[in-house]
Amino acid sequence: MFESLKKKLSSTVGKITDKLSKEEEEAKKSEDQDKSEAAQKAGKTDTKKAPKSEVKQEEKSEKRKEKSDTKEPEQEDSLSEEMEPSEKEKKGLLSFVRHKTISEKDVDDILFELEMSLLEGDVALEVAEEIINSVKEDLVGRKIKRKSDVSEFTKEALKNAISKILEVDSQNIDELIQLKQKQGEPLKIMFVGINGTGKTTTIAKIATHFMEKGYKPVMAASDTFRAGAIEQLTHHADKIGVKIIKHKKGADPAAVAFDAVEHAKAKQKELVLVDTAGRMQTNVNLMDEMKKIQRIIKPDLILFVGDALTGNDAVEQARKFDDTVGVDGIILTKADADAKGGAALSIGHVINKPILFLGTGQSYSDIMEFKPEWMVEQVFGE
Ligand code: GDP
Ligand code: GDP
């Protein structure tokens, strides 16, 4: 999953590291040249003591300015302070790196490249911009002590940016079910989203997921408009052995949902899963119909189901459904086939609602709870 996103991030780490190392080598070359020129000019005059105290002072003031305060480099500092300049010169590379502070110029072009490639990977514009700005903010001004710092800092900065983007307050459905149980009510979940995204399969997956936890769900076939929708959901319900409440095609979807809630109450079932007509989000009648279901059964959760493979389209659909009916959470389907990861990265941040589940395949057990830390691990892990 998300292989291409992973590649983009690690290639950015590589590029920034390479660029700064190259700069370091060049600076070292000119430093060496300066030194030999200075030595030639000075002839045999005493150059030993003056540079030593200069270097010392410089190091000390740098220490005061230091942003990061890890212990190890400090030890190195005191170690090198004790060294004679000649030994220090041998460690020329170390002494240069010690003086390097990452500037905006060092990272600008590479981060611009990253932004473009994130956009190509279906990351929403506002999200790509936020990532770049956050990385820049973290990196610019950081002092590099060792060569390995560059890649470490860059990876850290990217990880921080991605973590911030994925951070959205989430809900725990198990807790919600238990809360409702105490009130003697079922938890009512309404599923919205356009056709073909995997909505009916997802409803069956969610039913399976909670049946495995010991709960009893009932489905409501409230997509009474689309030909075949009732049959499609019935097919899934029969396969997993779940009760489905359905009326005839063209019936009032709110009435179907209402009946399903009554059924759950009568049979002490903990979950009502309501399918809705997945017409385009621009269809006014459909939106009115959804609002009617909302009014009649007052769902506890409205979950938007989107297809990860459609990238920015999924994000735009989520935005429209959220504007019209208000979305509480997101389920992204087909994550198993999604290399780009653009929708997974952007969708929650754009509508400020959590991704709760990822669809990861075609069978009923192919669903996983989404955790931001998991996604961070997925794109930065080995
Ligand atoms: P609906 O029209 O939105 O109800 O879509 P369906 O539930 O019928 O799903 C459309 C197609 O997507 C079906 O072939 C599903 O098996 C497939 N599908 C649904 N979820 C996933 C998923 O998470 N991964 C993969 N690979 N396929 C999925
Ligand atoms: P199309 O011609 O198949 O694109 O369908 P339209 O969007 O023009 O709708 C045809 C009729 O069905 C209109 O009277 C709409 O109000 C109604 N309609 C459209 N979408 C839905 C829906 O999702 N649910 C219900 N119940 N009616 C709808």
Average pLDDT over residues 355-376: 97
pLDDT at 77: 44
The residue behind tokens 């952007």 is 346
Closest to 142 measured CA to CA, from 94, 93, 91, 107: 107
For ligand 1, atom 6, which residue shows the shortest CA distance? 198
User: What percentage of the chain carries pLDDT values higher than 90?
Assistant: 68
Distance CA 221, CA 246 (A): 5
For residue 354 the two structure tokens come to: 């959590």
In the predicted model, is pLDDT for residue 72 greater than 90?
no
Least confident residue range of 7-11, 35-39, 247-251, 285-289: 35-39
Which residues, including other chains, have CB under 8 Å from residue 347's CB and lie 6 or more apart? 124, 306, 314, 315, 318, 330, 332, 355
H-run or E-run covering 258: helix 253-266
Q: How far is the CA of 370 from the centre of ligand 1 (A)?
A: 18
In b/e form, how buried is each residue of 294-308, taking b as 16+ CB within 10 angstroms?
A: beebebbbbbbbbbb
Helical pair 147-166 and 372-380, crossing angle rounded to 10 deg: 150
**Could you tell me the pLDDT band of residue 89, with boundaries at 50, 70 and 90?**
low
Beta-strand (E) ranges in the chain?
A: 100-101, 143-144, 187-192, 217-222, 243-245, 271-276, 301-307, 329-333, 355-359, 367-369
Q: Which residue has the higher pLDDT, 294 or 25?
A: 294
Beta-bridged to residue 222, according to DSSP, are: 276
In the predicted model, is pLDDT for residue 88 greater than 90?
no
Which of left, alpha, beta for 65 (phi over 0: left; psi -120 to 50: alpha)? Answer: alpha
pLDDT at 45: 55
User: Phi/psi at 34 (nearest 5 deg)?
Assistant: -55, -45
Q: How far is the CA of 280 from the centre of ligand 2 (A)?
A: 10
| Sheet of 187-192, strand order | 243-245, 217-222, 271-276, 187-192, 301-307, 329-333, 355-359, 367-369
pLDDT at 79: 42
Q: Which of 286, 290, 292, 293 to mutate to test the pocket of ligand 2 (most atoms within 8 A of CB)?
A: 286
The residue behind tokens 């997945």 is 278
Q: CA 349, 352, 357: angle at the middle one, nearest 5?
A: 80
Distance CA 225, CA 322 (A): 22
Average pLDDT over residues 304-310: 97
Q: Tell me: the pLDDT tens digits for 110-119?
A: 999 999 999 9
Q: Which ligand is nearest to the CA of 275?
A: 1
Q: Which of 362, 365, 370 to mutate to test the pocket of ligand 1 (most atoms within 8 A of CB)?
A: 362
Q: Tell me: the pLDDT tens digits for 126-166?
A: 999 999 999 999 999 998 888 788 999 999 999 999 999 99
pLDDT at 326: 94
Q: Which ligand is nearest to the CA of 360?
A: 1
Distance CA 113, CA 56 (A): 39
Q: Tell me: the pLDDT tens digits for 208-263?
A: 999 999 999 999 999 998 879 999 999 999 999 999 999 999 999 999 999 999 99
Q: How far is the CA of 289 from the centre of ligand 1 (A)?
A: 24
Distance CA 373, CA 107 (A): 26
Pocket of ligand 1 (CB under 6 A): 195-201, 278, 333-334, 336-337, 359-362, 366
Average pLDDT over residues 276-302: 85
Mean pLDDT of all residues in the chain? Answer: 86
Q: Tell me: the pLDDT tens digits for 37-60?
A: 777 777 655 544 445 444 444 444
pTM of the model: 0.80
Q: Tell me: the pLDDT tens digits for 165-209?
A: 999 999 899 999 999 999 999 999 999 999 899 999 999 999 999
In angstroms, what is the C-alpha Rg of the chain? 29
Q: Is the dihedral of CA 121, 124, 125, 131 positive or negative?
A: negative
Query: Are 123 and 344 within 8 A, CB to CB?
Result: no
Q: Tell me: the pLDDT tens digits for 328-339?
A: 999 999 999 999
Does ligand 2 lie within 6 Å of residue 289's CB atom? yes
Closest to 31 measured CA to CA, from 59, 60, 61, 55: 55
Of the CA atoms within 13 Å of residue 189, those in its CB half-sphere come to 26
Render 154-189 in DSSP notation, one character per residue.
HHHHHHHHHHHHH------HHHHHHHHHHTT-PEEE
Q: Which residue has the higher pLDDT, 192 or 70?
A: 192
